[in-house]
């Protein structure tokens, strides 16, 4: 079950279409779909969705990370989205997409906040030894659905305690809240650039 909302929002912390779409700089994020709540954004992009389609939500009931681990986030506090990609590369190269996405997230976070996390292979972003973000790339039906989850505006007490690595958030690291819409737009711009460098056919 999911609820799709069209209510207006004034704050750039909103990830509703009316807030995000004016900030998009390229083809990634078009079309853009927002769901107030869903099971997982990985399930919200149809097989025929064009490359660059994005599904974003404020709350996931069954968000997953690598090895099926649960990805938990307070509603509206994290940046949770998936993007549909159709890379024209050999199948053996598809695992490289996790690193492509990680580098794009590093660049987007740096551009939006000034903070530059480190990449922990295969699919995590760390600040110090604390986990800030996770990436999940799933190949299916001649496409790759790339899911990204970033802890943004959780205070320390709202971060999960039962994890294999201590978590953190942008709010904890920076000492101030971060608007999610500009952050999402910055990450999508970086992802498009890194993706096209990795797979020039991505422009088609």
- Model confidence over 103-155: pLDDT tens digits? 999 999 999 999 999 999 988 999 999 999 999 999 988 899 999 999 999 99
pLDDT attached to residue 4: 39
Q: Where are the alpha helices (DSSP H) in 36-87?
A: none
Residue 10 has pLDDT above 70, yes or no: no
* Buried residues in 35-54 as b, exposed as e (16+ CB within 10 A): bbebbbbbebbeeebebbbb
The pTM score is 0.88
Which domains are present in the chain?
Answer: 17-203 (3.30.930.10)
CB 82 within 8 A of CB 54: yes
pLDDT digits (tens, 9 = 90+) for 161-187: 767 789 999 999 999 999 999 999 999
* Buried residues in 130-157 as b, exposed as e (16+ CB within 10 A): bbbbbbbbeeeeebbbbbbbbbbbbeee
pLDDT attached to residue 165: 87
Give dist(CA 40, CA 63) in Å, integer.
Answer: 5
Mean per-residue pLDDT for 188-198?
97
φ, ψ dihedrals at 137, nearest 5°: -110, 120
Dihedral (CA of 20, 22, 28, 31) sign: positive
């Amino acid at each position: 079950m999911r609820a799709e909302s069209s209510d207006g929002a004034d704050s750039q912390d909103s990830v509703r279409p009316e807030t995000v779409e004016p900030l998009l700089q390229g083809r990634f994020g078009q079309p853009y779909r927002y769901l107030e709540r869903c099971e997982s954004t990985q399930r919200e992009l149809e097989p025929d969705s064009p490359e660059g389609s994005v599904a974003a939500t404020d709350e996931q009931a069954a968000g997953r990370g690598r090895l099926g681990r649960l990805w938990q986030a307070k509603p509206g506090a994290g940046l949770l989205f998936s993007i549909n990609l159709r890379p024209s590369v050999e199948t053996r190269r598809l695992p490289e997409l996790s690193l492509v996405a990680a580098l794009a997230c590093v660049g987007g976070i740096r551009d939006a906040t000034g903070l530059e996390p480190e990449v922990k292979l295969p699919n995590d972003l760390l600040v110090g030894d604390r986990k800030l973000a996770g990436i999940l790339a799933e190949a299916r039906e001649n496409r790759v659905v790339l899911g990204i989850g970033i802890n943004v505006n959780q205070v320390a007490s709202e971060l999960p305690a039962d994890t294999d690595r201590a978590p953190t958030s942008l709010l904890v690291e920076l000492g101030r809240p971060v608007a999610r819409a500009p952050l999402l737009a910055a990450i999508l711009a970086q992802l498009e650039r890194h993706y096209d460098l990795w797979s020039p056919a991505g422009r088609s």
